[in-house]
Structure 1
Amino acid sequence: MKNKIPLHHFQWNLEMLKIPYEELYAKKCFVPKVALIDSGIDKYHPELIKKINIEDSFDFSGDDSDILDLTGHGTMVAGVICAEEVIKGCFPNVELIVYKISNDNTYRIKNLINAIVKAIESEVQIINLSLSLPFDKMNQSTIDIICKLFEKANSLNIFITIAAGNQNKKIPPNFTNRFNNVYLIGATDRGGLKSSYSNYGAIDFLVPGGDWRQVEFSLDDPIVTCFPTYLHTMDQLNNNIGISKGYCIGYGTSIATAHCTGIIAFLISDYFDKFKRILKPNELYSILIKLSRLDKSEDSLHGELSFRNAHINNLWRNIF
């Protein structure tokens, strides 16, 4: 082991967001259902095992591996959303319903559509898509199908978070912008600036996603999260910096999207605690805009999400 870096060094994301969940979580409040549409999950991970609804989860990848995560991606996303033991996620009081659609870094649109249909049928509150939509490769028929699903989700007060992608390219206005329950998410670094890789343009919000700069190498920008305990991909790096098995550092708009899902889960839970009903899409959209810090760049439509300059009770007061 070369150096041992304390885990809190890689938890700057929570300081940036300042989600005030501690008091709410202590109340054993409303538990939002989150559909994790991804590469699966380490369903035995000590950070996640108690949060997964195994019965309602499903494998759409067709490889007979159940919902077991063979890449680490889905487990990393889940850790950012709701870890609470060794590390902290955004909001630990969630129920994860896992829909596995892939075993690698690609996925079939058919699997994605089937998973969204299943998530809507399961009456989740949030659908987390820490995967980018191939806007330039989707035909109109596919777009129409997805838009109908987004409309159905909107009518049922289901919110959808989508990763903007990691190619550092400008995204033009697209069909996701029509829906106030669908959020395209870009990433920021430790300084609150757009991450070097993050797509930008017609995306809704920027949220911490970390960075990994090749020119000026630094361990200041990655974010710590969970990783499958049975995979060895991160072993060498973990040994070098002193991170235990079952955890890793990472970055990406997938990580940023998971943070946005955690923020929304907290807001849904806090709103239900106060008003005894589920937030509606137009209501949540108004809150998220109030939480955003719009800069003068062209990186996003509404800027960076954070509770830094907001008091939660003031957010609810006289807003609707």
Structure 2
Amino acid sequence: MGSKQSHMVGIQRRGSDAARELSREIILITILGKRCKSVIQAHWRETEPVEFSKRKNAVIRNHLKSLQLFYLVPVTAQAATVSPKIFRISSDIVVNEGSNVTLVCLATGKPEPSISWRHISPSAKPFESGQYLDIYGITRDQAGEYECSAENDVSVPDVKKVKVTVNFAPTIQELKSSGVMLGGNGLIRCEGAGVPAPLFEWYKGERKLINGQQGITIKNYSTRSLLTVTNVTEEHFGNYTCVAANKLGTTNASLPLNPPSTAQYGITGHAEVLFSCWSLVLTLSSLSSIFYLKNILLH
């Protein structure tokens, strides 16, 4: 429980002076020690001890009665511990690519907590510890959620997150078309990226294409645009341009929509030629060229 120590004890009685029933009196006991000054309030009665969570014996005498009391006195100073608590962290921010960014995370606790940062999406990359995280010339790959953790081994770490959005000018990553035939349907797909999400437009030559006109259907999404040509005619063939734009810039890419290649061997219309068991041996010599055709079957 601790070693015995001598203390100065002062007693003040509260209550009616006329009430002399000691069992109902309230006293204030001031304990002066080397390391503390404690004031406790106790209900007591004659020869009956008052118990606290930790007990240290003292005998208090006054001109009325003798009282044995157990009271709480810290003998040695104990360092208080406090769980870590993050009380300030940067708000979610939006910056342009190439900007310098500083994230702040402040925490309290005893012992003083250590602060660490982690880029949890998409890379889960850890950073050096510190209240401030500096990112110079931020790129689009460094966008996402950052996690601050405050830890001092008293309890589980306190964790908070901040989201960093990085704006960048659009790019077109792919422009591709499907095969198209007269009277059929053609499709051109334009894949893009950008923050904010780009707006897409289509042009045929210098003419802007309007959704729902001249057999053209355009469907735009956050990262792609699909152009469909219904019931293809000769007028639909030509050069198509996809344009992607946001507040940071504009980009474009072009692709021709051409009729299918001429049928193999130059055969068109309804004529059908079936070549079976075809082999061709070409022999060249300095004097002559010999062509030998074997097993030709025409139907």
Give the structure-2-normalised TM-score.
Answer: 0.17
Structure 1-normalised TM-score?
A: 0.16
Higher strand content, 1 or 2: 2
Structure possessing the higher radius of gyration over alpha carbons: 2
Report the structure, 1 or 2, having the larger helix content: 1
